[in-house]
Structure 1
């Protein structure tokens, strides 16, 4: 517990609960005034759940306008929302991006999944995606005009 004075001289009481495991960090933070009114934090104490990110090393290839391919390896991405872009080796480069998420759904019947998304610039929605078991050590996607493969690479 931490007690601080606000600018108006009122006391604010802060409580933080932390839970650290090998896979996640949960943080429950709350602030109340002296009367018990909630000033910050979830009213029922639901924690922020931060999952530990796993590092992947990827290669990507994108088709150029002339039919040749641009290939890059050693691209680093993390499974908690990381994104990587590839620009083709042309006078007017095209771009393709990949994003990775290890998704755990908060409710419903969807199973947790490791998902690899393919993006074009300026589009919020993925062009396509592939998924695997969340413990997978490799995932790939082939859309004929782009390919990517990512392998778990512990640090």
Structure 2
């Protein structure tokens, strides 16, 4: 009887342990899948920068130090030499059409006990050789020899809080080599949600004095971008044989809704130059409804002066304008299931 009881108890323990292990793996898979769905995308803080520069907010509500405009794109890449969960980050200063100033790699693992995602951060040794990695669906041959780790113990810890991931690099452990200071301590804070990506990065001297960052601790607040395919037509001064005017047509232009622009010029002897901007305006104060807008600008004028604009609700999938001398329309690019 005793042997039978011990055998049954052992079997029960093994079955329970296996079930626990399977459940734990499912939790980890679910955590990684959720992170994957949120971290990938295009992000831009045009809305934040716009309200720091216009007259909508009261003077006391504007930060003394304005934020720079940033565009960021994050994609998961197939780089098996680095790991299974590898993400490529590319950041542009002043908008998508400007050169990228930072290219980096995150390699993920999971802390089982804390139920945290750990991201090791790397920079490319030769970033100028790296082009848009999202343009390739093939295996990408990136090796650790091509990368340099960002400092010592400078990994990011992500934890799921509600429906968002909150991440940080701890300045007490993260040391980045510095020729001038020996090393600096790096601290970051990040929130990734369904609609936004907030990021704050600060550096400190060994003495604890802030070297760079923001004293007000207001992060860069980037909104998740939606892509639209757009076309525009401009009336020219050239005549057809029947006496009608020729129109210049521009088609299949992809723009996102966070301040992205397309530049267009007529084919006349003296060309006219314009640009079209798509903008999702999310009001940071008051009860005005948020809107999705299209602006038409003379390229020779400042960005603050529009020749015309139109707007609709932020959930709209189409937006267009007809000014007689020009027409334009944009339609949401729907993601494949």
* TM-score range normalised by the length of the shorter chain: 0.7 to 0.9
List per-residue Cα deviations over 1:73-102 (Å, max 9, x = no partner): 212111112111233343443333211111
Structure 2 match to 1:106: 284
- Whether 1:140 aligns to 2:305 is no
- Whether 1:6 aligns to 2:178 is yes
Structure 2 match to 1:60: 232
Q: Which secondary structure does the structure 2 equivalent of 1:18 belong to?
A: strand
More helix by share: 2
In the TM superposition, 1:144-155 aligns within 5 A as 144-155=324-335
Structure 2 match to 1:85: 263
In the TM superposition, 1:34-45 aligns within 5 A as 34-45=206-217
- The alpha carbon displacement at 1:106 in A equals 3.0
Judge conservation of contact 2:273–2:300 (CA < 8 Å) in 1: no
Judge conservation of contact 1:97–1:119 (CA < 8 Å) in 2: yes
TM-score (norm 2): 0.42
Judge conservation of contact 2:227–2:333 (CA < 8 Å) in 1: yes
Change over 3 Å in CA distance of 1:73–1:36 after alignment to 2: same
- The alpha carbon displacement at 1:62 in A equals 0.8
Judge conservation of contact 1:70–1:88 (CA < 8 Å) in 2: yes
Change over 3 Å in CA distance of 1:41–1:108 after alignment to 2: farther
Judge conservation of contact 2:200–2:219 (CA < 8 Å) in 1: yes
Give me the whole-angstrom Cα distance separating, in 2, the residues matched to 1:132 and 1:88.
Answer: 28
Give me the whole-angstrom Cα distance separating, in 1, the residues matched to 2:214 and 2:290.
Answer: 25
What's the Cα RMSD here?
2.0
- The alpha carbon displacement at 1:14 in A equals 0.9
- Whether 1:20 aligns to 2:218 is no
Q: Quick check: 88-97 or 19-28, which moved more?
A: 88-97
Pick 1 or 2: higher relative contact order, CA cutoff 8 A, min separation 6.
Answer: 1
Give me the whole-angstrom Cα distance separating, in 2, the residues matched to 1:134 and 1:103.
Answer: 8
List per-residue Cα deviations over 1:7-57 (Å, max 9, x = no partner): 333542111112112222111212222333222222132111111111101
Number of aligned residue pairs: 155
Judge conservation of contact 2:181–2:205 (CA < 8 Å) in 1: no
Give me the whole-angstrom Cα distance separating, in 1, the residues matched to 2:297 and 2:220.
Answer: 28
Higher gyration radius (CA): 2
In the TM superposition, 1:113-132 aligns within 5 A as 113-124=291-302, 125-132=305-312
More strand by share: 1
Give me the whole-angstrom Cα distance separating, in 1, the residues matched to 2:221 and 2:316.
Answer: 21
Instruction: Structure 2 unaligned segments of length 5 or more: list them.
Output: 1-169, 239-244
- The alpha carbon displacement at 1:112 in A equals 2.2
Instruction: Structure 1 unaligned segments of length 5 or more: list them.
Output: none
